[in-house]
Amino acid sequence: MSRRLGRYISFGAVFLISFALWVTAAQSKTATTVPAGDVLFKPSPVQEEAERYLGRYLMQYHFRRVSVNDSLSQEVLSRFLDQLDETRTYFVASQVESFQKEIGNNIDDEFLAGKADAGFRVYNTFLKQAKQKMHFMIDLLDTARFDFSVNETFDLKRNDAPWPSDMAELQDRWRKEAKYQVLNLKYSGEEPDEKPREVLLKRYKNRLSLLEQQSDEDAFRAFNYALTTSFDPHTNYFSPLDYENFQIDMSRSLEGVGAKLQNENEYTVVNEIIPGGPAFRGGLLKKGDRIIGVGQGKEGAVVDIVGWRVNDVVQLIRGKKGSVVRLKILPVSQGNKGPAKIVEIVRDEVKLEEQSAQKEIIMHNGRKIGVISVPAFYLDFEGQKQNKPDYKSTSKDVREILAELKKEGVEGIVLDLRNNGGGALEEAVKLTGLFIPEGPVVQVKNSHGGVMVLRDKEADVGYSGPLAVLVNRYSASASEILAAAIQDYGRGVVIGGRTFGKGTVQSILKINRPFNFFYKKNDDLGQVKLTIAKFYRISGESTQHLGVTPDIVIPSFIDPEKVGEDTYTSSLGWDVISPASHSQIGRLSEGDVSFLREKHFGRIHSDSLYARYVNDLDVLNSFRKKEIISLYEPDFKVEMDRIEGFEAQWNKEEEPDMLLMQSAAIVSDMADLLQEGFAGRDVAPLQANGK
């Protein structure tokens, strides 16, 4: 690893592990826009220079050693087409064939030369087709009369479908899409005081206006997103303005709803719910939700934002502390397929105290089971650097909570890491160290093959009793490191759903050009966030892609087809390196874990609440898997009523409480084993000092 690269890698940089790119579009002050005519975008000299440096940085520093050849070229083209037109509603087959034939094998050559002409050609065609579609949809709503008594259907999932053969087939798809949207508005209750046609007409005209305002920066950024994410999904290019917004977001200084957003095709998608923010506290917004509209206050009109730049959406959502913003979303819980619903959030600052670890006690069969919820791995880097006695950190807070819980006489601990997307790597190591003796916690392998072992250096154990780690699909990065270490040491059991599978490390590098007196300040070339390393368990297995599989699986309402590292086609693969030398604690043998699993399954077999939960999950999965919906109005209304009825019931369910109760029961079983003596090794009785 070069000395220059090393300067950028610190715990502060590694803190970025859990944060995906939330701003992928913003307009440059110097960008040119396309007028109503057929003027085409082309890369500017500054953009071409940035492209040359971007290629060098990717080739020199990225963990994945990519062969720059025709195969990469075709992959980038395919990704770019899917990115622009996932639902196959803009391009026709002849256009795609032309791209594949004429530029499909040229992108790699342009990549090495610092060119982006091929990407601009695709984007210009997309922009022309998108404008044509909006004109068609506007004319359709003005003139057509839909017949909802006809028995025809609309395909909700089209990413694997063939491209339309010609414009006639494409326009028929547009007609059905408009028909579906009219029905959806009519029966979703989104706009009860307006006619669906009028609402859609305003939306289409607004989208056409946005398309007319596109710039060469939009084309450059969109193509580079396809290029960089072909290396892996967490590698991205930041223009100077993109990076400025990224820094603002990381500082969490502006008032808003506390959510990170990103673009996926035409949609603004919730990428992360920030612990301690308004969305986190309210629980109404979920990772993966699509935001399609924003309204100010309790009564303000909801502005359709489909197709907007993320930067513009963020500006619309941010506002004065204490004010209300209403978000119209397509919930990820129902596969983003509708009907839409409105969530109301009071803007506020991210409250650090609400990121802090919290405790509670659950009673099970007369036993006190302590629950410690850790929403993020936080660390006051400046306070630590200045050696302030009261600086905030996850491990410090949890150590204090453990002491309190032991004084209250708990007989087991559930460490709740659900929805914890990661944070400070240092804290993941220190928090693991509260439950194990001195030893390795995680291995980090860089792009040159070097392996560094991060160790807990404290011989003191903060807690030695029965322990379970509760995780779900949103548990990522640092959470996976801790869960894997607890599992590998045999220190406790992992409960819940398979984790996210993000076992990679990112760092941000500023694109530096050689000093030249003639370069202007506004010719800044931007920054690159790229993947430079991978995490590995002490067993040698990576946490990348596959995540951590729980010892005892409890199904979740989170859709694994929408959430997780394995949902990204370019994610780095799972692999194995040599294990780190460590002493097996042996508190839980495989036989002990099997016993706990059997006890759990025996218990839920007669649990009516759990049975209803599983039934609801089956119903929800049937909604998610539905790819074709009827446009025959009576059938459409029945389907919408079913979904809305289910959503209303599900929103009342206490899923976290149910999962915690199941986890507490398992820990209670572990306490029984403790009394009998673990099969793997006897454990000393739990004492107040944790030893």
> Which residues does the annotation mark as catalytic?
477, 488, 502
Q: Do 301 and 256 meet the contact criterion of CB atoms below 8 Å apart?
A: no
- Name the token pair of 239: 């223009």
Rounded Cα distance, 493 and 462, in Å: 18
Query: CB atoms < 10 A from the CB of 661, how many?
Result: 17
Rounded Cα distance, 230 and 76, in Å: 6
- Name the token pair of 352: 């650090």
Beta bridge partners of 311: none
Q: C-alpha dihedral over 636, 640, 641, 645, to 10 degrees?
A: 160
Q: CA nearest 62: which of 111, 133, 121?
A: 111
Name the 3-class secondary structure at 615.
Answer: helix
Q: CA nearest 415: which of 449, 9, 225, 428?
A: 428
129: Cα within 13 Å, side-chain hemisphere: 22
Strands (E), 91-212: 153-155
Rounded Cα distance, 402 and 586, in Å: 22
Name the 3-class secondary structure at 338.
Answer: coil
Q: CA nearest 222: which of 262, 164, 270, 272?
A: 262
- Name the token pair of 524: 């800044």
Q: Give 348's contacts (C-beta < 8 A, 6+ positions apart).
A: 255, 258, 277, 278, 321, 322
Interhelix angle 70-84/93-102, nearest 10 degrees: 150
List the helix and strand counts (H, then E) for the chain: 21, 19
Q: Do 19 and 252 meet the contact criterion of CB atoms below 8 Å apart?
A: no
Q: Do 150 and 258 meet the contact criterion of CB atoms below 8 Å apart?
A: no
436: Cα within 13 Å, side-chain hemisphere: 30
Q: Give 34's contacts (C-beta < 8 A, 6+ positions apart).
A: 40, 41, 127, 212, 214, 215
